[in-house]
Chains A and B, each alone.
Chain A
Amino acid sequence: MEGWGLLYNGFINSLTLVNLVACFIGALVGTIVGVLPGLGPTATMALMLPFTMKYGATTGLIMMTGVWYGAMYGGSTTSILVNIPGEAASVVTCLDGYQMCKKGRAGAALAVVAVGSFVAGTLGIMGLQFFAPFLGNAALSFGPPEYLAFMLLAFVLLSNLSSDAPLKGALMIVFGLFLSTVGINPMDSYPRFTFGYDNLMLGIDFLPIAMGFFGISEILSVALEKYVKPEVNKIRLKDLYPNRKEVKRSVYPTLRGSILGFFVGLLPGPCTVISTFVSYALEKRLSKTPEQFGQGAIEGVVAPEAANNSAVMGSMIPLLTLGIPFAGPSAVMLAGLRMHNVEPGPMLFTTNPDVFWTFVAAMYLGNIMLLILNLPLVGAFGRIAVIRPQVLMPVISLICLVGIYSVRNSLFDVWVMIIAGVVGYFLRKWKFPIAPFIIGVVLGPTTENSVRQSLMMFKGDVSLILDRPVAIILLALAAAFLACKLAAPLFGKKVALKVEEDDTL
């Protein structure tokens, strides 16, 4: 099979020192970020983006996915040991994880979660490996109207799933779309919303906005919070062995969580977070002893953790096959790939197949690295959780400042980052979701191109869209979802699957 040959080449490419080191650094930093409450994977990936510029696109992609992946691994550590979720996708793990810790089974919980995450991650990569090229080929037939319809569907789902108030999500998306129109429009070289200011001619760069909204606003939030020293329960290596019963009870939840997480990962919005909630609910429903959930049921720990790991891989599919990111971290990845002059989408598999296959191979290796890293070092990671923010935040602030300046040697970018940070701080306080905004910014140019190209294709006759069945189906799905949402209050029912976006996403 051609795929295996390409994967073999991918392994050879990924086994370079640079890629292995990038994978290791990504996984390590990701785990640390996952452990530390506050800074989330999106902020960290934006922060690390400038450092990947020196190396190729593949190295950059490997490092950033390593961060996202590592954060999913690390997040569970503090949930179980300290009852504080390191990031949003580990909130559910606290419920039963901390209860297990109180019963003296923290070591077993951590070990089962690490192995479960490894299995889920590996299954997720397999899913990506098989589905992505297939979907990429299918997407080759997509024209501008299909892209536009797909993005509209994504925006509708995104605004509904990423916030408690869908209106706020929608407003954030259109605000992001607006910001992307600032600067010279490449289609007709017309400067828009620049108001004669030279720095705005090239548009507002994505990176300072992302670092401001996710990084600086987070630093400000943490700086203003009252610090309560968490108590970490100590773990010894010999405590890490789960007993036979615990292993037996974990097998099926891990597999179910992995499969469920992968498919939830295909949804727009905070897919990793949603996957944990859905998977926990599913396990509770399937369990013969649902009363044990919340009291330290191992199924309630391992299934959500498996789900969030495979969700990461699931959400790589829309990014790599269509070039459409569905979550904050994948929006940063898209921006990163564009900085390396690689445009993800259906053409990726023909123009840059090495990027995809090296990435897949590196993820297999990264997953093994994370397992090796997490099991023996779990005690050390637990201790990182108690580093005081007064020590950590000043250092991160300075890395943000120097990092963003170094990308284009531009003080203007630093100003943009600070302003975005202040605005982001207030938006967080008022519960406006940030990820839809960032996705709006990064998808703005593609949306505009699709709108204009579709109109030109149809020679102004919008009704011609009826001849495009795929576009019509996608638009119908969006309309049906909106209709359900609007009609739900009339029947006194609330539409489920509403997950409040956490600050870290």
Chain B
Amino acid sequence: MAKIARFRLETIFDLVLMILGVIILIVSWGYGFGTFRRPGPGLYPFFIGALVLFFSLILFILEMKPKKTESVFTKEGALTFILMIVTFCLWIVVMPLLGYVVVTFLATFAFTKIMKLEGWWKPLAISVGTAVFIYLLFDYWLYIDLPRGILG
């Protein structure tokens, strides 16, 4: 859906980078510049912060003119996006408790359904296959000790 707008998510991102530039300048000022002869820890990040601020400011000004923009998401797309992120986050939170094999199975299943893979057998088969593949790859081939959780 294209619409004409002056303030877009993109310009807000430029603004965020400008604020980041200012924060880098302030924080690195506190680290101490030293001298050009013996540079302190703050000198280099200060210059980087100045460049972040400079480039994002110009970009912000250039992008202020109203122009046609495509929205990043459709309504349905936004839901898929959020559900994907939630699944990623849940994997991180639950993995140490239930173990990586079980959570891998659950997460794969969730991903297939979020991405609208039809039926139940196919998603189930893919989830079991992925869990077994990951177990064999990391445990048998690479000997990496990962949290096993309830599977002990």
Contacts and interface: CB of A to CB of B under 8 A. Distances in A.
Interface residues of B, number: 66
A32 to B, nearest CB: 15
B142 interface: yes
A137 interface: no
Interface residues of A, number: 57
Contacts of B92: 401, 411, 414-415, 418
Contacts of B129: 395
Nearest to B47: A451
A16 interface: no
A351 interface: no
B37 A460 contact: yes
B5 interface: no
A462 interface: yes
B13 A192 contact: no
Q: DSSP majority for the B interface?
A: helix
B73 A224 contact: yes
A399 B134 contact: yes
Contact of A174 (B51, B130, B144): B51
Nearest to A417: B88
A236 interface: no
Interface in B9-50: 9-10, 13, 17, 20, 24, 27-28, 31, 35-45, 47-49
Contacts of B49: 178
15 contacts: A174-B51, A175-B52, A187-B41, A188-B40, A188-B41, A190-B41, A223-B84, A223-B115, A391-B112, A394-B111, A394-B112, A411-B92, A414-B91, A426-B72, A452-B43
Which 3 pairs across A and B sit closest by C-beta, in order of nearness? A460-B36, A394-B111, A460-B37
Interface of A: 51, 54, 165, 167-168, 170-171, 174-175, 177-178, 181, 185, 187-188, 190, 192-193, 216, 219-220, 223-224, 388-391, 393-395, 397-399, 401-402, 405-406, 409, 411, 414-415, 418, 421-422, 425-426, 429-430, 448, 451-452, 455-456, 459-462
Interface of B: 9-10, 13, 17, 20, 24, 27-28, 31, 35-45, 47-49, 51-52, 55-56, 58-59, 62, 72-73, 77, 80-81, 84-85, 88-89, 91-92, 95-96, 100, 104, 107-108, 111-112, 114-117, 122, 126-127, 129-130, 133-134, 138, 142-146
